Chains A and B, each alone.
Chain A
Amino acid sequence: MDVDLDRLRDKILILGGQAETALLQATKALIHRDSVLAQQVIADDDDIDYVESEIDQLCVDLLRDKCPVSEDLRFIFGIARTAPIIERIADHAVNIARHALKLNDEPQLKPYVELPRMAELVHQMLVESLDALTQRDAAKAYKIIRRDPEVDRLYGRIFDELLLFMTQDSSAVVRSVELLFVVKHFERIADYVTNICEQVVFIVEGRIIKHTKEPWEIHP
Chain B
Amino acid sequence: MSFIPEQHSESLLQAVLGSLREGILVLDTDTQVVLYNQAAADIFKIRSGGARRLLRLVDVTRHKIIHQGFRKVLDEGTSFNSEIELVNGQERNYSFRATPLRFSHEEGVAGVIGVFFDVTQIVKLERIRREFFTNLSHELRTPLTSILVYVETLLSGAIHDIEYNVEFLEIINKHAKRMRNLVQDISDLSAIEAGEVQINPANIEVHKFVETLTPLFSADVTTYHITFTNAVPPGLCVWADAQSLEQILVNLIINAIKFNQPQGSVTVEAATAGDEAVVISVRDTGIGIESHHLPRIFERLYRVDKSRSQEVGGTGLGLAIVKHLVLANKGEITVESVPTQGSVFRVKLPTRL
A134→B64 contact, CB < 8 A: no
Task: Please tell me if the beta carbons of B31 and A18 are within 8 angstroms of each other in the complex.
Answer: no
Whether B56 and A6, one on each chain, are in contact in the complex, defined by CB atoms closer than 8 angstroms, is yes
| B31 & A14 in contact (Cβ 8 Å cutoff) | no
The answer to whether A14 touches B64, judged by C-beta atoms less than 8 angstroms apart, is: yes
Q: In the complex, which of the residues B56, B59, B61, B64 contacts A18, with contact meaning CB atoms closer than 8 Å?
A: B64
A-B contact count (CB 8 A): 30
Number of contacting residues on B, CB 8 A? Answer: 12
Within 8 Å of chain A (Cβ to Cβ): is B57?
Answer: yes
Chain B residues lying within 8 Å of A17, measured Cβ to Cβ, are 61-64, 67
Distance of A147 Cα from B18 Cα, bound (Å): 38
Enumerate chain A residues within 8 angstroms of B63, measured Cβ to Cβ.
17, 21
A14–B67 touching, CB < 8 Å: yes
| B87 CB within 8 Å of chain A | yes
Question: How many residues belonging to A are interface residues under a CB distance threshold of 8 Å?
Answer: 15
Is the Cβ of A130 less than 8 Å from the Cβ of B56? no
Q: Is B312 positioned at the interface, with any CB of A under 8 Å from its CB? A: no
Q: Give A1-27 as 1s and 0s: 1 = Cβ < 8 Å from B's Cβ atoms.
A: 001001001100110111011001000
* B197 contacts A by Cβ under 8 Å: no
Tell me whether A134 and B59 are in contact in the complex, defined as CB-CB below 8 angstroms, given that A10-B31, A24-B87 are known contacts: yes
A10, B87: Cβ atoms closer than 8 Å: no
CA separation between A20 and B66, bound complex, in Å?
14
Closest to B67 in A: A14
Query: Is the beta-carbon distance between B87 and A16 smaller than 8 angstroms?
Result: no
Query: Is B15 at the interface (CB under 8 A from chain A)?
Result: no
Interchain CA distance A21-B67 in the complex, whole Å: 13
Report B52-75 CB contacts with A as 1/0, cut-off 8 Å. Answer: 000011110111100100000000
Contact B56 A20 (CB under 8 A): no
User: How far apart are the CA atoms of A124 and B56 in the complex, in Å?
Assistant: 22
A14 with B58: CB separation less than 8 A: yes
Q: Evaluate contact between A10 and B58: CB separation under 8 angstroms.
A: yes
Task: Identify the closest chain B residue to A9 (Cβ).
Answer: B58
Nearest B residue to A20 by beta-carbon distance? Answer: B62
Q: Which residues of B contact A135 (CB under 8 A)?
A: 59
The chain B residue sitting closest to A134, CB to CB, is: B59
A13 touches B64 (CB 8 A): no
- Cα(A14)–Cα(B31), bound, Å: 13
B:84-106 near A, CB below 8 Å: 87
A9: chain B residues within 8 A (beta carbon) = 56, 58
Chain A residues with Cβ below 8 Å from B31 are: 10
Known: A17-B67, A24-B87. A10 touches B61 (CB 8 A): no
Chain B's closest residue to A130 (CB) is B62
B64 / chain A contacts, CB cutoff of 8 Å = 14, 17-18, 21
Question: Once the chains are docked, how many angstroms separate the CA of A21 from the CA of B63?
Answer: 8
Interface string of A78-119 (1 = CB under 8 A from B): 000000000000000000000000000000000000000000
Which residue of B has the minimal Cβ distance to A111? Answer: B290
B74 CB to nearest A CB, Å: 13
CB-CB contacts below 8 Å: A9-62 with B: 9-10, 13-14, 16-18, 20-21, 24
CB distance from A71 to the nearest CB of B (A): 15
**Chain B proximity of A102: nearest CB distance (Å):** 24
Enumerate chain B residues within 8 angstroms of A16, measured Cβ to Cβ: 62
Task: From A3, A6, A14, give the contact of B62 (CB < 8 A).
Answer: A14
How far, in angstroms, from A130 to B61 measured CA to CA in the complex? 11
A3 CB contacts on chain B under 8 angstroms: 30
Report Cα–Cα, A18/B57, bound state, in Å: 15
In the complex the two chains form, what is the Cα distance from A100 to B87 in whole Å? 21
Q: Identify the interface centre among A17, A24, A130, A134: most chain B CB within 10 Å of its CB.
A: A17
CB contacts (< 8 Å) of A24 on chain B: these are 87
Contacts of A130 in B (CB 8 A): 62
- Shortest beta-carbon distance from B98 to chain A in Å: 16
- Encoded as 1 (CB less than 8 Å from any A CB) or 0, chain B from 118 to 132 comes to 000000000000000
- Knowing A10-B31, A14-B64, A18-B64, the reply to whether A134 touches B87 (Cβ < 8 A) is no
Closest to B62 in A: A17
Nearest residue (CB) in A for B60 is A134
Q: Which residues of B contact A13 (CB under 8 A)?
A: 58, 62
Question: How many Å from the CB of B172 to the closest CB on chain A?
Answer: 33
Nearest Cβ in chain B — how far from A22, in angstroms? 10
User: Could you say which residues of chain A place their CB within 8 Å of the CB of B57?
Assistant: 10
Report the minimal beta-carbon distance from A43 to chain B, rounded to whole angstroms.
13
B25 nearest CB across to chain A (Å):
15
Minimum Cβ distance to chain A for residue B96 (Å): 15
Inter-chain contacts of B87 with A (CB < 8 A): 24
User: Complex Cα distance A6/B32, Å?
Assistant: 10
A-B contact sample (7 more), CB < 8 A, given A17-B62, A20-B62? A6-B30, A6-B56, A10-B56, A10-B58, A13-B58, A24-B87, A134-B59
Q: Which A residues contact B (CB, under 8 angstroms)? A: 3, 6, 9-10, 13-14, 16-18, 20-21, 24, 130, 134-135
User: Could you pull out 15 A-B pairs where Cβ atoms are within 8 angstroms?
Assistant: A3-B30, A6-B56, A10-B31, A10-B56, A10-B57, A14-B64, A17-B61, A17-B63, A17-B64, A20-B62, A21-B64, A24-B87, A134-B58, A134-B59, A135-B59
State the 10 A-B residue pairs at the shortest beta-carbon distance, nearest first.
A17-B62, A13-B58, A10-B58, A13-B62, A14-B67, A18-B64, A17-B64, A16-B62, A134-B59, A17-B63
